[in-house]
Amino acid sequence: MQTATPAPRWGRVFFPIWIGQALSLLGSQIAQFGLVWWLTITTGSGTVLAGATLVAILPGVVFGPVAGALVDRWDRKRVMMVADAVSAVAAALLALLFWSGAVQLWQIYTIMFVRSVAGTFHFPAMQASTSLMVPHEQLARVSGLNQMLQGAMNIAAPPLGALLLAVLPLPGLLAIDVVTALLAIVPMAFVAIPRPPRAESAAPTSVLQEVRAGFEYVRAWPGLLVVLVMSMVINFLIAPAFALLPLLVTRHFGGGALQLATMEASWWLGILLGGLVLSAWGGFRSRIRTALLALIAMGFATLVPGFAPPWLFWGAVSGLLIAGAFNSLCNGPLFAMLQSVVAPDMQGRVFTLIGSAGSLMMPLGLAVAGPLSDVFGPQIWFAVGGVACVLMGIYGLFSPAVMGIERHGETLAAETAPVT
């Protein structure tokens, strides 16, 4: 439960930061598109592209828990500003390497790794700060805006990146990323972001002790632990399913690049529409009920491409559109709930723990999904993932620990509130 009350005119503080971060995200995704395209046409190697993906994932898995502990200890405003500045400097350095014509693959990997480390600190700092800037009753709508932004960026960034590549060299795209990162830093320099209250009696602890405290915090909260496990299972099953989309299009539906782009766009359009609905509606009074019902609906929609016959391509497209919409209606309330019930001085650790566990499951899922799809076809993973989402959602609705997670959080906050 929130222990710091946002100012009545909270939007004047939050939305300039949010807009700056949105611009920075757009610049980063445009630059990322340009880098991936350059690696594709220069090397033509799947191993190189897989290596780039691994470099982007590893920092979150390896450094996430420590980053979360540091975010809870440090000034979160400074963490976000430094993370944005590091990303800007890294993009500028890479642009210079491309201009000089001396760029090498290991340099690209190194800079991508550095940017990913910066993101590992930035994401929990922003999520944990949001709960202290936004009123409790508006968190679900803000989460809806974030989901809508994610969908819009993934729809707009690839064609915009392709258009800019036609008129600018790759260093130009990286320069855009530098400028948008600076636009994210400027608003934060002029606003005050609240810091979470800490108990006056709390004794000084080491970073490792705080990391351990984060694990213990989640382990001792049955409902939160179940949510963490659900997140891991979803990332293990659903992420590989979408990685297999090219095979689903070519092997099962007999399509090509246009059909692949259509299916991917339908997913992100669904996420955008779901985020729009959530930002206007806000979800049910019980955020966990909203998330679980949406998870069940997303599971059923994911079954459509899993069982669609080869002649029902547009049915599969519709299924992905609906699944994307309910993905927003699941993730948005879930993040809002966590921001509401997790103690403010623990949110950095909790968010990074969930993110690290989910990121770890993605490569493991891909390692299993690849061989299975070669034997049973790419549809099998959509079917398995859809069934798992339905079953987990139903289990959550009938689990007292999960359904009582918000009440437990309010009780815990009251018991551990710092003395004033």
What is the tens place of the pLDDT at every residue in 344-381?
888 888 888 888 888 788 778 877 877 877 788 888 88
Each residue's pLDDT tens digit, 78-121: 999 999 999 999 999 999 999 988 888 888 889 889 998 998 88
Give me the pLDDT at residue 1, please.
Answer: 45
The answer to whether residue 271 is domain-embedded is yes
Do 239 and 366 form a contact (C-beta atoms < 8 A)? yes
Q: Any idea what the Cα angle at residue 106 is, between residues 105 and 110, rounded to 5°? A: 120
Residue 143: name the closest of 359, 27, 294, 31 by CA. 294
- CA-based angle 137:141:144, to the nearest 5? 150
Work out the number of other CB atoms within 10 angstroms of the CB of residue 328.
Answer: 28
Q: Quick one: how far is CA 283 from the chain centroid? A: 20
pLDDT tens column, 38-69 = 887 787 665 676 677 778 878 887 888 888 88
Chain segment 155-181, per-residue pLDDT in tens: 788 778 878 888 888 888 899 999 999
What percent of the chain has pLDDT above 90? 23
**What was the pLDDT predicted at 201?**
42
pLDDT (mean) for 314-319 = 94
Is 393 within a domain?
A: yes
- What confidence score (pLDDT) does residue 197 get? 67
| Domain assignment present for 6 | no
Q: What angle do CA 184, 188, 189 make, to 5 degrees?
A: 115
Q: How many domains does the chain have?
A: 1
C-alpha dist (Å) from residue 89 to 18, 76, 100, 142, 223: 21, 20, 17, 30, 41
Whether residue 414 is predicted with pLDDT greater than 80 in this model: the reply is: no
| 247 or 47, higher pLDDT | 247
Residues 201 and 203: their CA atoms lie apart, in Å, by: 6
Whether 127 is covered by a domain: the verdict is yes
- In tens, the pLDDT along 269-278 reads 999 899 899 8
**313 is a domain residue:** yes
Mean pLDDT score, 302-321: 93
pLDDT value at position 127?
A: 83
pLDDT score at 198: 59
Closest among 173, 167, 38 to 104, alpha carbons compared: 38
Residue 201 counted as domain residue: no
Which candidate, 141, 26, 65, places its Cα nearest to that of 358?
65
Tell whether the model's pLDDT for residue 234 goes beyond 50.
yes
pLDDT above 50 (res 292): yes
CATH code of the domain in which 364 resides: 1.20.1250.20
Q: Note the pLDDT of residue 412.
A: 56
The mean of the pLDDT values for the chain is 83
For residue 248, the surrounding DSSP H or E stretch is none
Domain span holding position 228: 11-193+206-416
The H or E element spanning position 209 is helix 207-219
- Identify the residue with better confidence: 59 or 201: 59
> Which of 57-71, 114-128, 291-305, 329-343 is predicted least confidently?
57-71
Bigger pLDDT: 318 or 344? 318
Residue 138 lies in a domain: yes
> Does residue 2 belong to any structural domain of this protein?
no
Task: Tell me the pTM.
Answer: 0.77
Between the two ends of the chain, the Cα-to-Cα distance in Å is 17
Q: 2 pLDDT band (50/70/90 cuts)?
A: very low
How confident is the model over 11-39, as a mean pLDDT?
Answer: 85
